[in-house]
Structure 1
Amino acid sequence: MDEDPSALAAQHINTDPGTWQATPIPGKGIGMLASKPLNFKDRVTAYTPAFLAYLETELSTLDREAWWKLAIEQLPEKTKADFMNLTYVFGDMRIRIQDIVKANTFQVDVEGVNHLAIFPETSRLNHACNPK
């Protein structure tokens, strides 16, 4: 991972491109809607994940929640608020972080190992959080 924020800024990563807005959609929650006409190959989003985790099986659900909650508490306030305002599936406050992760996860490969990633902005794309 690149640790130089200026390298990200030079590529317009983690900057609002002005192509979309998060908008309440009746009966659907908050969704991403285009804020201007888009053309083929227009960049809509380009963000680094707010949360990245390897889903291990050694921890209990409540222990995993405690560790993941600690990680989320370390985020900048806006990023933390964006994460915590994402949708969830089950509504169990004891495992709210894992519930948000379940509803909004993108799987990413990190050096050949599958990880769970949350991109709060990209999570606003129209999708089914809990498809049946």
Structure 2
Amino acid sequence: MTGPPRAPGSGARGRKSPSGLQRGRPPVGRGARVESAAAPAAKVSPKPTKGIKYRLKEIPGKGIGLIATRRIRRKEVFLTDLPSLFIDSRLETLADQAVADFEEDRKALYNFGVESLGGKDRVLALSGSRSSFEGIDNIFKSNSFLVATDEGNHNGLFPEVARINHDCEPKYRMGPPNRPPRLPNRPNLRLQVPMRPLQPPLRGEPPRDGRLRRMQEIEGLLKSGDQSYEAASDMARELIRLATEERLEGKMQEIYLDLMGVFYDFADYGNALYFAETALGYAEEFEEPEGATITGIRTNINVLRGLVAQG
């Protein structure tokens, strides 16, 4: 950096950590935070282990990845570095304010956080797929992961490696997932399995990479708001199928919450309620019973139930 970062926008504040990096804080009352990787803000309590065995490997087009040398079980904590950016997920509840009302504040916080990073070039080199957003906001929304803290789930971004949210084994085993797919089964749900022939993956691209890229593409298209209801329904069904094939148990909660928002925007409150209730089922498995994440989802469910009751 050529000089100390400055917080863009009015009301944003910052202070220097012992490492010299900056910690960004939002305007009072907004409830969002952006912090540097060197400035811990949440207590991490990993379970005792007998030595985590993994190795780093350069993955073409993706950066540095973690390759397991032994079985790593779901919920096992082995990557304890905090993310480079950290955004409070409680901004995204339907009962308080529309997410769009926070966009300007969040963009200012994202930019301030990026200016505070020592490895800024790595973050800016990440892919962007959310065409409706610009700059770091696009990058963050395309690459962020849920980060569990004592306060609940939040959105975080690692510049080099991503959290593993599901079981990981040295050699992938072919076979059905341990848990049957949680797919919509309501009579009035319009999400139908698209009966189309399977398309071969791009030449030189492993099938798994193809699925993950397609998931990113679908998420971006759904968030853009440019899709028809029928197209969004097909994409939602495909997204759930791909996530199930990838066994992304840790991401299913995030996916169902995103779909809740998509169908809420379509004023399809019945399906939005279904997705919110399904997300709550995953949250109850991974989150603290009275934590902020579960509380926020239940708030959304109550709002949606009221809308459904109004017809």
TM score, norm. by length of structure 1: 0.58
Q: Distance in 1 between matches of 2:56 and 2:65?
A: 5
Question: What displacement does 1:131 show?
Answer: 5.0
Residue 21 of structure 1: CA displacement? 3.1
Following superposition, the deviation at residue 3 of structure 1 comes to 6.4
- Give the Cα–Cα distance (whole angstroms) in 2 for the partners of residues 113 and 33 of structure 1: 26
TM-score, normalised relative to structure 2: 0.29
Structure 1 gap segments, 5+ residues each: 5-16
Which of 39, 51, 69 aligns to 2:69? It is 39
Higher relative contact order (CA 8 A, sep 6+): 1
In the alignment, what sits opposite 2:160?
A: 121
1:112 Cα deviation (Å)?
A: 3.5
Aligned-residue Cα RMSD (Å) equals: 3.8
Aligned match of 2:127: 87
In structure 1, distance between residues paired with 2:148 and 2:66? 29
Structure 2 equivalent of residue 107 of structure 1: 146
Unaligned runs of 5+ in 2: 1-37, 41-52, 73-77, 92-98, 165-208, 219-311
Contact 2:55–2:69 (CA<8 Å) still a contact in 1? no
Partner amino acid, structure 2, of 1:20: L
Q: Deviations over 1:77-115 (max 9, x none)?
A: x2x2221111111356x6221211111111123334321
Equivalences for residues 1-132 of structure 1 within 5 A: 19-24=55-60, 29-32=61-64, 39-41=69-71, 47-55=81-89, 56=91, 57=99, 59-76=101-118, 78=119, 80-91=120-131, 95-123=134-162, 127-128=212-213, 130=216, 132=218
Give the count of matched residue pairs.
110
Cα distance in 1 for partners of 2:152, 2:135 equals 25
Paired residues of 1:30 and 1:124 also in contact (CA < 8 A)? no
- SS of 1:101's equivalent in the other structure is helix
Question: Share of identical aligned residues, percent?
Answer: 21
Report what 1:13 is aligned to. Answer: none
Structure having the higher strand fraction is: 1
Q: Rg bigger for which structure? A: 2
Distance in 2, matches of 1:71 and 1:90, equals 19
